[in-house]
Amino acid sequence: MLKRLWLIVIIITLLTACRNSADGGDMSITTATTSAGTLIVDKNPTYVVEKPETSNNNKSSKEVQSSNDTVTPYGAYQLTDEFFELIRSNPIDSDYNKESNEFQNSKDFSTTGWLQLEAKYKEVWDKELNAVYNSLLDKLDQKQKALLVESQKGWLQNHLKESEFVQNTFIQGDPKKNIGTQGNVNLEIAIKNNLRDRTFQLMEYYYMLGGKLEF
């Protein structure tokens, strides 16, 4: 009797194995969705990340960019439509985009010229930053002024040291890690963008205190 029971168990086990094989093999494979796409995991384990689908496949890059622009916020505290439009449509970015597009498509394009263009707008944003900083100070009491001055000193220290680090490590440092002439352009762009971002941040504070934004 016992032998018969064992025989039945063995037969059932063999049939189950055959059915799983016919259905596609190892049933331990699972899927999980990540920000990078669909992650397929088996018991080995082996990992394969599939290319994520996008809802913008039928849109041009210009349309996608335009769509992104409409949802990108400027500022962490003052998210009114008026403030958003003032920042989004500022004339400095408009002038830069126009000049940059013309230069990038010009027969006179050169890395040196590109570096000069970025340096030009770096100086523009530096002046704009100083202007709004001084205007903001006029809106504050003594304690608030002291706090802003300390905050600006901290920001400036980080800004300068970060740029110095990149310059020393990736432009003037080990030739194997050197990012070449293009690195100078990228550093100039990074400095310009840091100045631009800080300008917008201070403009937000100024606007929240009733200041009129002017570029």
Q: Indicate the pTM of the whole model.
A: 0.65
> Using CA atoms, how far apart are residues 213 and 215, in angstroms rounded to an integer?
7
Q: Looking at residue 36, what is its pLDDT?
A: 34
Question: Could you tell me whether strands 47-49 and 30-34 are parallel, antiparallel, or unpaired per DSSP bridges?
Answer: unpaired
Residues 39 and 122 in one domain: no
pLDDT in tens, 151-185: 999 999 999 999 999 999 988 877 777 777 788 99
Q: Looking at residue 20, what is its pLDDT?
A: 47
Residues 123 and 175 in one domain: yes
Residues 68 and 84 in one domain: no
Residues 103 and 36 in one domain: no
Cβ neighbours of residue 168 closer than 8 Å, sequence gap 6 or more: none
Range of the domain at 158: 78-208
> Using CA atoms, how far apart are residues 173 and 178, in angstroms rounded to an integer?
7
pLDDT at 203 exceeding the cut of 60: yes
Residues 48 and 144 in one domain: no
Q: Average the pLDDT over 178-204 and give the result.
A: 91
Residues 179 and 89 in one domain: yes
Residues 56 and 158 in one domain: no
Report the domain count for the chain.
2
Residues 161 and 92 in one domain: yes
> Using CA atoms, how far apart are residues 205 and 155, in angstroms rounded to an integer?
15
